[in-house]
Structure formats: structure tokens, C-alpha cells
Copies of this chain bind each other. A is one copy, B any other.
Amino acid sequence: MDKYKGNSPVVLKPKSTDEVSKIIAYCYKKRIAVVPQGGNTGLVGGGVPVYDELVLNTEGMNQVRDFDDVSGILTTDAGCILEVLSNYLAPKGYMMPLDLGAKGSCHIGGNVSTNAGGLRLLRYGSLHGSVLGIEAVLPDEHGTVISVNMPGGGGAGPLRKDNTGYDLKQLFIGAEGTLGIVTGVSILTPRLPSAVNVAVLSVPDFNSVKTVFKETRAQLGEILSAFEFWDQEGLDLVLDHTGAKSPFETAPEGGRAFYVLIETSGSNKDHDDEKLGGLLEKLLEEGICADGTLAQDETQAANLWSLRESLPEAAGKLGKVYKFDVSVPLSEYYSLVEETRARFVENGMAEDGTIKTTVGYGHIGDSNLHINIVAKEYNERTESAIEPWIYEAVAKRNGSISAEHGLGVMKPNHVHYSKTEPAIALMQQLRRVFDPRGILNPGKYLPPSEHLPEEGQEKVK
């Protein structure tokens, strides 16, 4: 996505928390705006300067600080790359609790600041559960280093249970660098599974996707680690643009089907094979799924995963992509894709080639839906046909207009589709408490506040 281009005269790459503190204290004094930046893989422009902000990039802070192989608690600098951390943990028998497409470049500090979700949230939960400690630099006159449950930071270290006051670290998770610069993270890592299985199924309609999901949760229980979904348009797109082979022997009845990928991760290969085998047998016997394929080795598993993972890339090859990352309750999930397509048919944009295809895929287990609208080009007419209509359609379903990508520069004025007025007002007040001079990511994340006074004035009640 080349939607956001930075224009900053200065990029700083501090090597330590102390250096970050000095930079921030200086910026506070001089009222210089700052954009914290990690691996710069975000999709909503959160890490990109929009005016002439100073860019503070954390790539120079990339050391593992500590790992405890009894508790599985890892403590690292914010600039460590996710995949590097995974590779560090694997020989020790542990893994990172999150995995996403950008793993080769994204930083753990950015993951935490954007509350990254990804492929395995279904199993290992969100960062609000697995992050145990955060070190951050606050935008005040001293560039105060605040250490919440970090080793050596004073007070309690990283612990699974610590009920001494408000859990401040939770606020930094998903704050997109607006409350402080995250410089260090402690995170609970799960055991690396010794057995992984992958299967892909074809089912006739979206209702069957839900049936399969419910049955899968019941039968696979604790070993289910991913439940992914894509539609016929998605499969066609991938097969056309990547040269991949269809994993199915038969074409779907009526030319259309829905696809799910099931991954299990467990500690005993035989047990997992038996559980998954039993599930697939039942689904085929009862006619819930029409066709299916089970990976026989790691290469086949990777090939099945790539059907799902190469979707965004395939969309980019076909045209210019409007990407939407939303959460929608499962009862209304796929109707959003259908309604979007119907809209393009109605307004003639499907017929005249303005819209090439509309693809739905996502993480069923998290109600997270990615809609990729592939257009001939980025232009105002197309954009105005989609927005704000699609946000309204999500809000009507009590969904979230940003499931995992965040707000950045793209959506500060759209927050109200997913959050109420009193909630947004509270967020603005909290931001002011942490960042009284408004130097962190100005103009991003939240709408401008009409009701908040300038620093030093009386609060409006």
C-alpha cells in the first residue's frame, strides 16, 4: 500500500531508553511533534509523519533483555523484530503468542502499540492478556521513564498476577504511540507445539462455515489454533495470480463454495491426528462439508496456508485495493460482503469495470473480516461510493470499523462508528493527561477535541 508517504526532515534512531527520554524531554520543551515508528508495516499510516514531525524509529533498540525458561516470560527492547524473537524462542521450546504477515519486519513495540492480532489470537488470546510489562517514555518535561512490571524497572517485575492499582500498561496496548513511546516489553510466551496439522475444507454456504466452526470448537477444543475463512472470489483470485493449484479434486457445485482452514497445534501428534481425523470424518459423513484436504507434511501445510496468506498480494496484482479490516458478529458476518457487492452492481460500478472484484476473508474465530475491494484505480468517485457507507454498514451490525489495523491517520474521524460519545470524550481526556502538549502523533488516532482546554486552563465541566 503506497497510500501514506512521509515528509519528515528528521529521523532519529536512539539506541537506548535513556536516549529516547532525552529526545522526548527536548521535544516537550520545544513543542516539537514526534511520530514513533517501528517496522513501519502499519496499514493506516500511524507511523508516518503527516506534517513535519520528527520521526523516532526504534530499530536501534533491538536486544533481548531476559528470558525465563520456567515461566516463559520474555523481556525485550521495543525494536526487536517479531520473527527474530520467534527464532530466538524456538530452540528453547517456546514461541511468540502472535503471528502475522508482517512478522519479518514489524517490531514488538509496534505490535504492542497497535494491539496486533493476527492468525493465532483464537488460541493464545490478545496482547491485553499476554503482555505482562511495559516500559515507556512519557511526553513530559523530564521524558519520564515509566516502568510497569518490567525487570529492573523498580516495583514488581513481570508477573501473571499483580493487583496493585490500575493496570496502566493496558492503556499503552493499542494506543498507537499517543500516550508515550514504548521502549520495552515483557510478554508471556506459550510452549512451542510439537505437532501441527492443517486441513482445508470446502463448504456450500456461509451458514455451513458457522456450523463447522461450532463443531470444530467442540471436537478439537484445546488443540485448535486457527480457523480461517475465504470465499470463492478469494480462491479464484489466488489461483489466477499465484500459479497455485486448487487443493480440491472436484469443482464446487454451482461454481461457488466457501473455504475454511483449520490448524491444530498440540503436544502429541497421534492424539491430534485422531481428533482432527474424527472431526473431518464426521463433517464429510454428515454432508456438512463437500470436499477437504489434510496436509501430509510441512510443505503441504505451508501450501495450504499460502492459499489464505497470499490473498492480499494476489489482490494487489489485480488492481488497486481498498482494504477494510472490520469485526462483525458472526450472525451478520458475510452479509456485509454480499451487501457491498450488491452496492457495486446497483450503481453500475461492477459492470463498467470500476470494481474488479470484492473479496471476503478473515479470522472466523475472532469475528474478524477483511474485505478487499479491488478497483481499476484509486480515485474519489470509487472512494466516495465505499466510504462512509461501509462504516455505516459495520456500525449497523454493532461491528468494529477497525478490528486490528488501528486508527492512525486514516480513521480518527471514524471512531464514533464504533465508540460512543462519552467513551470518546474520556479517551480525549486521558490523552491530555499523558500528553499535555499534544506532541505525540498530533492529528492522528482520535478526532480533535472541541471541549478540552489548552494546557494550564481550567477544565470545562
On A, residues with C-beta under 8 Å from B are 68-72, 93, 114-115, 117, 121-122, 125-126, 128-130, 138, 141, 144-148, 151, 153-157, 159-168, 170-171, 173-175, 179, 191, 193-194, 210, 213-214, 217-223, 265-268, 271, 274-275, 327, 329-331, 363, 365-368, 395, 398-407, 411, 415-420, 422-424, 426-427, 429-431, 433-434, 436, 445-446, 456-459, 461
Contacts and interface: CB of A to CB of B under 8 A. Distances in A.
Given A129-B126, A271-B274, A330-B70, A161 B117 contact: yes
A119 to B, nearest CB: 12
A174 B162 CA distance: 10
Contact of A401 (B164, B191, B213, B457): B164
A419 B155 contact: yes
Contacts of A402: 162-164
A196 to B, nearest CB: 12
Given A367-B160, A398-B151, A166 B422 contact: no
A121 B160 contact: yes
Contacts of A218: 93, 191, 267
- Copies of this chain per assembly: 2
Nearest to A146: B422
A197 to B, nearest CB: 13
Give the residue among A161, A395, A424 with the most B Cβ atoms within 10 A.
Answer: A161
A222 B403 contact: no
A403 B456 contact: no
Contacts of A411: 164
Q: Which 4 A-B pairs have the closest CB atoms?
A: A129-B129, A221-B267, A170-B170, A157-B398
B156 A419 contact: yes
Contacts of A115: 163, 167
B161 A400 contact: yes
Nearest to A93: B218
Nearest to A178: B166
A404 B163 contact: yes
Give the residue among A331, A403, A457 with the most B Cβ atoms within 10 A.
Answer: A403
A403 B163 CA distance: 5
A164 B406 CA distance: 6
Contacts of A458: 456-458
Given A70-B210, A274-B271, A399-B156, A423 B165 contact: yes
A153 to B, nearest CB: 7
Contacts of A194: 221
A157 B394 CA distance: 11
Contacts of A164: 400-402, 407, 411, 415, 417-419
Given A167-B171, A456-B461, A423 B146 contact: yes
A137 B52 CA distance: 41
Given A156-B419, A433-B433, 11 more contacts: A70-B213, A148-B423, A157-B399, A159-B329, A159-B366, A161-B327, A161-B403, A163-B400, A164-B407, A164-B417, A271-B274
A161 B429 CA distance: 24
Contact of A222 (B128, B266, B427): B266
B404 A221 contact: no
Given A146-B423, A147-B420, A430-B430, A267 B271 contact: no
13 contacts: A117-B163, A125-B129, A126-B161, A146-B420, A147-B423, A155-B419, A156-B327, A163-B400, A163-B402, A163-B407, A165-B427, A222-B222, A268-B275
A403 B159 contact: yes
A171 B125 CA distance: 18
Contacts of A191: 217-218, 221
A327 B160 contact: yes
A268 B271 contact: yes
A166 B174 contact: yes
Contacts of A423: 146-148, 155, 165, 168
Contacts of A271: 268, 271, 274-275
A71 B121 contact: no
Contact of A155 (B157, B405, B418): B418
Contact of A161 (B121, B130, B165): B121
Contacts of A146: 420, 422-423, 426
A44 to B, nearest CB: 9
